[in-house]
Structure 1
Amino acid sequence: MTIYFYKAWQPYGCFSNFSPHGIQIQGTYWSTVEHYYQAQKFVGSIDAVIIPLIHAAQTPEEAAALGRCTTRQLRSDWNVVKTEVMREAVLKKFVTHGEIREILLSTGNQILVENSPIDYFWGCGADKTGQNYLGNILMSVRAEIRQLVPLTAIPDKYLSDKYTKY
């Protein structure tokens, strides 16, 4: 089975980068993964002055709008590092917040897909042919959390067969 998610207020909305689950990375607290991700686009660039504005944005939508401004200069290595930046933030989110970690683990081995009608990189796009990088990161984070958390702390119903063999 496949689980589709998109908006933070929909089922599985905690998988969205807009969900209200803050993270702390390198000593700085970010209101959402979206805030952190958008700010990282400008680290070391001539437009790094936008980072405090993104950090202070009242909503993830506002942070996204600031980060997507096409007149600003992105960091030179952004296309190389953006998926790792996202993975670090998503992992931090699910390690930090136990209640959503349980939701992620409860998905078992189901395929997770960001059902964005416009994003063909992070999501599946309108015609479901997108690369679904966010969904793939979530599935990778789910597998990593299973390795990090002592198996005795995870209810059996969340474990796949490969983790319950002796």
Structure 2
Amino acid sequence: MNGEKDVRKIIEAERKELLTRNPEERIIRFYETDKPYGCFSNFAKYPIVLKGKEWATTEHYFQAQKFAGTAHEEELRLARTPMEVARMGRERSRPLRQDWEACKDDVMREALLAKVEQHPVIKSILLSTGDCTLVEHTANDSYWGDGGNGEGGNMLGKLLMEIRNGLDE
């Protein structure tokens, strides 16, 4: 695909610039899907197959698992856009599964691993980041992202780095 070749060229140029920096400055910030490293976003349109079903994005899978085993899970799976499914998943009109806080990191890890394994271009881009720190840079989320000011938990970035460290090249 031409789009994948274009992405690889952009990423390679970014990577070369990153490698000239000091190790503590080797930080890759991502958020917007149309920017370099945007493929790491849960809103990036890379479908995954998990639980015998196709999910349009990792966001679809993640949000739907808040309601696993209920009709709401399928309702969220079929949402038209990642933004719509995110909104639906945050609404509290549906009963959230009781163990959600305990399992949400594992659910995200599962979704991210599926995306990396099922899309070789993402695996390649993830491996190309070497030992750089990956940061979901957004003021919209201080758990999965950096909170916009670097003080958030950055769990999405941490999980991606964990997956990267476990990959074979």
- TM category (shorter chain) comes to 0.7 to 0.9
Q: Does 1:103 align with 2:128?
A: no
2:59 aligns to what? 34
Question: Which residue is 1:151 aligned to?
Answer: none
Distance 2:44 2:78 in 1: 16
Question: How many residues are matched?
Answer: 144
Look up the match of 1:149.
none
Q: Structure 1 stretches (4+) deviating beyond 2 angstroms?
A: none
Q: Partners in 2 of 1:28 and 1:106 — Cα distance?
A: 29
CA distance in 1, matches of 2:68, 2:83: 20
SS in structure 1 opposite 2:28? strand
Amino acid at match of 1:6: Y
Of all paired residues, the percent bearing the same amino acid is 46
Question: Where do residues 1-166 of structure 1 align in structure 2 (5 Å cutoff)?
Answer: 1-44=26-69, 48-146=70-168, 154=169
Q: CA RMSD in A?
A: 1.0
Deviation at 1:51, TM superposition (A): 1.6
Local SS of the residue matching 2:167? helix
CA contact (8 A) 1:95 1:145 kept: no
Deviations 1:57-95 (A, max 9, x none): 111111111111122211000000000000011011001
Q: CA deviation at 1:14?
A: 0.3
The CA distance in 1 between the partners of 2:67 and 2:97, in whole Å, is: 5
1:18 Cα offset (Å) = 0.7
> Is there any run of 5+ residues in structure 1 with no aligned partner, and where?
147-153, 155-166
Q: TM-score, normalised by structure 2?
A: 0.82
5+ residue gaps, structure 2, are: 1-25
Deviation at 1:9, TM superposition (A): 1.2
* Distance across 2 between alignment mates of 1:98 and 1:130: 29
